Structure 1
Amino acid sequence: MLSGVRFIAAPLFVLLFSTVSIAAEGSGHGIDGSNLSLYWVIPFAGILLSIALFPLFAEDFWHHHFGKISAVWAFSLLIPMVITFGFNAALYEVLHAYLLEYFPFIILLLALFTVSGGVRIKGYLQGTPEVNTGLLLLGTILASWMGTTGAAMLLIRPMLRANAWREKKVHMVVFFIFLVANVGGSLTPLGDPPLFLGF
């Protein structure tokens, strides 16, 4: 079993570092986005609408076929890109997107999730409206300093424990998601991981 993992991992390791060097070698190989028409947005809008609407209107279909639907939207961008700009330009853009944008972003989220997920805040908070408002305010402020992921991971458990006695508590989680995990990151670039990475 272990030798099989090594057999697969070694070529992937070499491939990863060779593609990083290809993707980072220069900026002259990419596609000039200022010359693209609005038609190139259709696959992006399509995947967003699929993620938003399929679970609501065709839940079973989405849960069984979401990978295929995502692949259709990905290929609806990649195939015209290869036809229009050539294989090398399309490969460059795909490698650039994955290796220089997607993977660093996921690594940053993993780091914030790991660090904040290992911290446990103890206390005897009672889920009164004042305490809940204070937790939401604290989370919103912290999200701008430590990132939305970190603040959400740090404060969601105290919020849930403080309100465990309530019968109706879904609205607090919704407010928490909006304020701490989204809006709170807007005050500084540190609060929004893509801005933190320089996007």
Structure 2
Amino acid sequence: MVRLTTISNVLSGIGITVLGFAAIIKFMLQILDITGTLYPLYAWIVGAALLVVVLIMSSINTFTEKTGFVNPEDKLVSNMFVFLTAIFAILIFGYLDPVNPALQVSLFNIATMIVIAYVFLFVFVYFSGTITKGSEKGQIKELTSRFMLVSLLLGVVMAAVKVGFDWILTSVNFYEGAAVALGLFAVVLVVVTVMFLGRKYEPVGE
């Protein structure tokens, strides 16, 4: 039986391809100086619809057991594709509407905050063992003191990411370039995370 994660991965791949196709169509139309056509938007809508579908599938796989046991690594890879599809959908929609700089900035900020949230969760999960050590013994003061330092580290990292991409968007004054930089950063971040966590042993059970 084909697992829901496999179907989700295939649909995510199709969604990313369609979104990329929408950007390519828009780029070609700009080169040919053709305006007024909605084909790029139609392609984006298809990609966004696929995103909604895979988001529902991944939510079912991740938070429920309605489809049976799913290996954690399969969940990790599947949600990686969902995450990237969402980032690309947001950034490419901004590219399709170049006449509205305010919308582009808003979409860029939304995508940046999603990436920052990912950084937050990854760093927090990475240090969770250290933070919660001793909590089962009621050592709340120890736990809180560790969390203070980790939250400081998280704040610095998140602020650096935000300031960095704001600087890129402002300095290049070119949405497409800033969007590509953010998209590449998201890809590298997610792939490195999946590869790093994939090497860690995690007991699984049916």
Q: Answer with 1 or 2: which has the greater Rg.
A: 1
Normalising to structure 2: TM-score of the pair?
Answer: 0.31
